Amino acid sequence: MTNHRPVRVGAVAAAAALTLAACTNSPPASSAAGDTARSTPSSATASGLEQQYVSVVAKVLPSIVQITNGHDLGSGIVFDTQGDIVTNAHVAAGATRFQVTLAGSPTPVPASLVGAYPPDDLAVIHLDTPPRSLSPATFGDSATLQVGDIVLAMGNPLGLSGSVSNGIVSATGRLVSEPTGGGSPGATLPDTIQTSAPINPGNSGGALVDLAGDVVGVPTLAAIDPQAGGGPNGSGAGGGSPAPGIGFAISSNLVKDIAGQLVAHGGHVVDSHRAELGVQAVTVIDQTGQPSGAGVVSVVAGGPAAAAGITAGEVITAVDNTPVHSSAELSKALAQLSPGQAVPVTVLDPQGASRTVTVTLGQLPGS
């Protein structure tokens, strides 16, 4: 198969990635004469860690599946013994029928869409005839992750089924944005895990796993370096190449919540936990060609913005004292807030007069 579009690739955090990469070129500081010897892990310690890797792979790989939707390939995780598989919404890519290849089996199993929730880039599909040998993954508590924790990424990069890569948790709580395309409207993800474990096309929807063998995240996004030339395999808005060692995964706690709702409520999310303003907005460009705000195209009747007196034709320039220069920045600002929270929103009217109103945020609708 030549088309392996998922994983998503975005320019999020690329500037920071360039800065960090530059720092690695610095030579190490000189050590005192008496401190030149470096301690190295004993062979017993190394052997123990190696065996732990082997044990984790043996435990989790039976829970990882390959998903094709007719034109793209991605990964998924066995969610329960009833035949539900959790993956990314952009892996589903608007399709309703799929072929799922289970670990250890050469024969694909037909599956159908249970439901998708694009704002969190998650979806659940269901096997038509679930085998008795299904092995659901164990989902851990992503809130306990620490920077430096060793993690493994498992999935089907470039169609290479059952592949495993390793790295560490580089950061937690990252706010990232996925680009549109491939059947996905894009998404702003407020609480992702950044990892150095390589994430490549086809890894989307797979598992980020800790050394206890628990799934702590679902790989979904790889950063790009916008200043690097985009070759034949490059992708991302404005060109560029994947930035090595900078990938992002949706936290397992969110996955358990949203996937659980999709299964329990017939493919619907009934509680998104995400804030909304109740407007449709587009980016406004000023006279110099620079983005200058989020222009309100329409306002949801009875919604939070309408209740605060915001009207179509006005331009939002700040939310909760965070400057807003585009519709994407508006989405990012809202992604960091909570339903029911009262926040100041600054708008410009069509004549250019600025005012600030207090808006009690609503909840982003489910699916």
Mean pLDDT of 300-321: 95
pLDDT value, residue 17: 34
State yes or no: pLDDT of 10 exceeds 70.
Answer: no
Mean pLDDT of 119-142: 95
Mean pLDDT of 251-265: 97
State yes or no: pLDDT of 39 exceeds 90.
Answer: no
- Please indicate whether residue 283 or residue 200 has the higher confidence score (pLDDT): 283
pLDDT value, residue 40: 47
- Please indicate whether residue 161 or residue 28 has the higher confidence score (pLDDT): 161
* Contact predicate 86/127, CB 8 Å: no
pLDDT value, residue 164: 94
Catalytic residue among 75, 90, 177, 191: 90
Catalytic residue among 204, 292, 326, 327: 204
Predicted confidence (pLDDT) per residue in 179-232, tens digit: 776 555 678 898 999 999 998 888 999 999 999 999 999 999 888 776 654 333
pLDDT value, residue 25: 30
Give the chain's end-to-end CA distance (angstroms, integer). Answer: 32
* Percentage, residues of the chain above pLDDT 90: 66
pLDDT value, residue 19: 25
Catalytic residue among 72, 84, 120, 121: 121
Domains and CATH numbers, the chain: 1-19+45-269 (2.40.10.120), 275-363 (2.30.42.10)
Three-state SS at 301:
coil
**How confident is the prediction for the chain on average, in pLDDT?**
84
Mean pLDDT of 331-340: 92
Residues 6+ apart with CB under 8 A from 302: none
* Percentage, residues of the chain above pLDDT 70: 82
Looking up tokens 């990892």 gives 195
State yes or no: pLDDT of 236 exceeds 80.
Answer: no
pLDDT value, residue 366: 80
Weakest mean pLDDT among 103-107, 150-154, 205-209, 298-302: 103-107
Write the single-letter amino acid at 23.
C
pLDDT value, residue 163: 92
State yes or no: pLDDT of 14 exceeds 70.
Answer: no
For residue 90, indicate whether it is catalytic. yes
Structure tokens at 321: 């004292």
- In angstroms and rounded to an integer, the radius of gyration of the C-alpha atoms of the chain is 22
For residue 204, indicate whether it is catalytic. yes
pLDDT value, residue 269: 95
pLDDT value, residue 183: 56
State yes or no: pLDDT of 18 exceeds 70.
Answer: no
* Contact predicate 187/120, CB 8 Å: yes
- Please indicate whether residue 17 or residue 307 has the higher confidence score (pLDDT): 307
Residues 6+ apart with CB under 8 A from 179: 8, 9, 10, 186, 236, 237
Predicted confidence (pLDDT) per residue in 54-90, tens digit: 999 999 999 999 999 888 899 999 999 999 999 999 9
Question: What sign for the dihedral angle of Cα 144, 150, 155, 158?
Answer: positive
